[in-house]
Amino acid sequence: MATVGACIFSAVSSPVFRRQIMSSSEKPKRNPILKRVAVSTERTSAATTTVMTETTPTRIFVEKKSSELVEDEAETKQRVNVREYSEEESEGNGKSLKDYFDEAEDMIKSSSGGGPPRWFSPLECGSHTRDSPLLLFLPGIDGVGLGLIRQHQSLGKIFDIWCLHIPVKDRTSFTGLVKLIESTVRSESNRSPKRPVYLVGESLGACIALAVAARNPDIDLVLILVNPATSFNKSVLQSTIPLLELIPGQITTMLSSTLSLMTGDPLKMAMDNVAKRLSLQPTIQDLSQDLVALSSYLPVLADILPKETLLWKIELLKAASAYANSRLHAVKAQMLVLCSGKDQLMPSQEEGERLSSALHKCEPRNFYDHGHFLLLEDGVDLVTIIKGASYYRRGRSHDYVSDFMPPTSSEFNKICEDFRWMRVLSSPVMLSTLANGKIVRGLSGIPSEGPVLFVGYHNLLGLDVLTLIPEFMIESNILLRGLAHPMMYFKSKEGGLGDLSPYDVMRIMGAVPVSGINLYKLMSSKSHVLLYPGGVREALHRKGEEYKLFWPESSEFVRMATTFGAKIVPFGAVGEDDLAQIVLDYNDQMKIPYFKSQIEELTATAARLRTDTKGEVANQDMHMPYPVPKVPGRFYFYFGKPIETKGRKRELRDREKAHELYLEIKSEVEKCLAYLKEKRENDPYRNILPRLIYQATHGFTSQVPTFEP
């Protein structure tokens, strides 16, 4: 046993805790591998009815040799930088639902003596950078604090993680829990005022996070709410209170059934485990074993939430929901709400929509096939979710360049699998130009070192991007950072642009909102940048405008590229007219009152670009052309000879010289388009049917031939 201040806590038997006795004169240091314990500001113990009045967070540390008590400087230098995100460790968290139950059982035993709520940092979180933001995990009705167990390793690389553990016998009120979290938030915010504090709250924890945010509008908080219990008044738990009070003893069949909802969809989880196994023969046996294994943990669930504790937690949920809902108007924090479609405890999807409508800074993400305890289920990666929503930041605002983490191999593979249909349908042909002017198939003519600026024509609806960016990653291991319209990143006050989640893939793959400052940052970081000067006007073009450039008259990007000596690669992409044909364009829709009002409303809510530009490119009315698909043809990309700007900075300061280079680049793009349109006529595999026949005889992973460059 170790005694620190007013808190008595036994952690010897638990593998998720470490301890170190610390003298009262010694000042605690922040360290990601040190375990923390914070004492509640308001607590009445069920066992002793002793009121805890300790208000200063107390920390318990691992007992180590004297040489290990201070953080080794060499170890600090070896920490993985966020910008060098470790794929190997981020993709294999290595924990399962079984680990949750095993470690939860150990934690329950180690805190069986009661005590106040406390913070701990999981051992497997590893090292993070010094400028990593703090992430506080607030558990749901279980109170164990292990709800992130399947996310610890990946989250631990980019966050300093503290998890709240609420002992089974603890009876701290909702107000007491809020004050405890609030005290920690204020303390850590004062310690690092330039960095945000993340609150990841599950169910009950989400209500606590909302309460803390409402009471502290001046603190920089980022809330990630998982199936928030703000919808408790519609929960099935509320109707079970009278029945639970009548149940004798600690556990009954009905109570077990209620507790089993914590695992989401047990059958789906068991099926997921079976699907991961290579052997097909023992599938039925494995499935039955997995279901038996899940049912075997019902006693652990009963230990986590015995009858008295469950009744107390339900009362907590009722108070938390009422408090959070009454103060929603005061919440100013950035918020991401994760909603499960098969939540058997609460109507989480409906609640996510309500919160998103009520709060301007709130964005929902839906997970239709998952249950209440979303983060314990397969296929849910919180780091990927945060990256996709552009919610990771280490300063006051998200920096799309310095806060960006490249996609891991598992993230990239999943994206490729999701868009595999596009690659199969279009069978892209990549052509590049070597230094001697020779045109070759493949990307060997592309400069491997940045900064490089790719400038080209934007196909209908941006279909070319779906194949272009993956091909660069697969063939050259080059990540193209696309400059995209801001409407894909920012929610309008009127909500006219709707759900932003379809654009998460683009953000994961490195796309940034188009702006001069973002182009400057990308060039300075020596990135490979993808720019479409025609923007929305080209991607949403009218009938008969295929492969027509709508570029501004001014040389917007030339002088920026020359500032950094970037290589400019003009390119053309052809194939949209072989995939679809527009039947209802902008001109048609403006003649129909319904569509006209929709276009005007959408355009009014979208960010306006090039407001000072004249000509057709300034016409950026937001609309959706209605195309009909064709028998799929093929996409062709031709990258011209790179244009050097290094050493021409002084020359290109002259506006006329810069404009001449701009017109040269535009002319090269038009030549690339004309070349591809002519050459594709000689491609015997332009149509999908000959390609399928070829792959059927040569293998579906074989490269389909094309015309001779």
pTM of the entire structure? 0.82
CA distance 583 to 577: 12
Q: The tokens of 125 are what?
A: 């979180």
Residue among 285, 265, 283 nearest 376 (CA): 265
The contacts of residue 347 (CB under 8 Å, 6+ apart) are: 231, 234, 235
Name the residue among 458, 426, 428 with its Cα closest to residue 443.
428
- 199 in Cβ contact with 212 (< 8 Å): yes
678 vs 709: CA distance, rounded Å: 11
Q: Are strands 160-165 and 134-138 parallel, antiparallel or unpaired?
A: parallel
Phi first, then psi, for residue 340 (nearest 5°) are -95, 140
- Intra-chain end-to-end CA distance of the chain, in Å: 77
Residue type for position 412:
F
pLDDT of residue 287: 42
Mean pLDDT of residues grouped by 10 in the chain (709 residues)?
Answer: 30 33 34 38 32 31 29 33 39 72 87 84 83 95 92 93 94 95 96 96 96 96 96 78 58 47 48 45 46 60 81 90 95 95 88 90 92 89 95 94 94 91 91 96 95 96 92 94 88 60 92 93 96 92 93 86 95 94 93 92 71 60 89 95 92 89 96 97 95 91 92
Spatial contact of 184 and 57, defined as CB atoms under 8 Å apart: yes
Question: Residue 652's pLDDT is what?
Answer: 86
User: What crossing angle do the helices spanning 409-418 and 465-476 adopt, rounded to 10°?
Assistant: 140
- CA nearest 457: which of 521, 537, 402? 537
Give the DSSP letter of residue 613: -
Q: What is the DSSP letter of 623?
A: -
> By the 8 A CB rule, do 136 and 198 touch?
yes
- pLDDT for 294 equals 53
Q: How far apart are CA 14 and CA 113, in angstroms?
A: 14
DSSP 3-state of 336: strand
pLDDT the model gives residue 13 = 32
What confidence score (pLDDT) does residue 242 get? 63
> Strand 2-4 relative to strand 7-9: parallel, antiparallel, unpaired?
antiparallel
Q: What is the pLDDT of residue 11?
A: 30
At 478 the pLDDT is: 96
d(CA 79, CA 126): 9
Q: Are 452 and 480 contacting, i.e. CB atoms less than 8 angstroms apart?
A: no
pLDDT for position 175: 95
Question: Torsion-angle region of residue 437: left (phi > 0), alpha (psi -120 to 50) or beta?
Answer: left
Q: What is the pLDDT of residue 609?
A: 61
* Strand, helix or coil for residue 442: coil
Q: Is 671 exposed, middle or buried (0-12, 13-18, 19+ CB in 10 A)?
A: middle
Q: Which of 349, 369, 97, 324 is nearest to 223 (CA)?
A: 324
**Cα–Cα distance measured from residue 471 to residue 347, given in angstroms and rounded to the nearest whole number:** 41
